[in-house]
Amino acid sequence: MSLEKDPRRARLLDDPLAIRAMAHPVRLDLQSLLGREGPLTAADAARRLGISQALASHHLRQLAKYDFVEPAPGKDNRERPWRLVSTSQSWQDAIKTPEGAAAADVLEQLMAERALDALAKWQQQRLQADPVWRDNSGIGQTGLYLTGEELAEIVGQINELLQRWVDERPIDDKSTRPAGSRHVSFTQIVAVSPEE
């Protein structure tokens, strides 16, 4: 779900081809890296991800084709860095068609797998972490009976709660990060049981 209010920073994806283009592990890695580090060249991105420069360049061009990244100003004419165009995306309109729903399903599965991988990595170091990080991370689970309107209200409240920090600290702007801050990922998974 997209949280950012700036229309250039937040993007509503309704094209199944764009959603499919984003649903690739290397492309998600590149977007995440550009979000954490800001503009990078294909060579810098490749070094950080442990992939070839050609592979990074190919995937950056594919992301650019679908307007996820764009060229950024470089230090000179030889340097060609890339930057994020949007720092959050949503695709709720896409799931209204079979093609869009299929593309969104692939992307959401990939994102869920990545979230579980990030959780497993965090669990390996959590015991040694400062209590404020350790005690406020992990998974919580609550089952409720809600109407569709109540579910929409809860999701809206969660998004509003996070909005303050999304607005104040764009993910790809290092200058907005306070001392002692760390990257935190909120992955919201809402699953609705079939009707009984």
CA–CA distance, 170 with 36 (Å, rounded to integer): 10
Can you tell me whether residue 173 is helix, strand or coil? coil
Return the pLDDT at 167. 82
Would you put residue 38 in left (φ > 0), alpha (ψ -120 to 50) or beta? Answer: left
CA–CA distance, 139 with 153 (Å, rounded to integer): 21
CA nearest neighbour of 28 among 99, 96, 102, 118: 118
Q: Could you list the pLDDT tens digit for every one of the 196 residues in the chain?
A: 444 455 556 788 999 999 999 999 999 999 999 999 999 999 999 999 999 999 999 999 999 999 999 999 888 778 899 999 987 888 988 999 999 999 999 999 999 999 999 999 999 999 999 999 999 999 989 999 999 999 999 999 998 898 888 888 888 888 999 999 998 888 888 889 888 7
Q: Interior CA angle at 174 toward 84 and 76, to 5°? A: 65
CA–CA distance, 70 with 109 (Å, rounded to integer): 26
Residue 40: in which H helix or E strand, if any?
Answer: strand 40-41
CA–CA distance, 30 with 22 (Å, rounded to integer): 10
CA nearest neighbour of 193 among 153, 157, 151: 151
Return the pLDDT at 2. 45
HSE (CB half, 13 Å, CA atoms) of 154?
12
Question: Do 177 and 100 touch, CB atoms closer than 8 A?
Answer: no
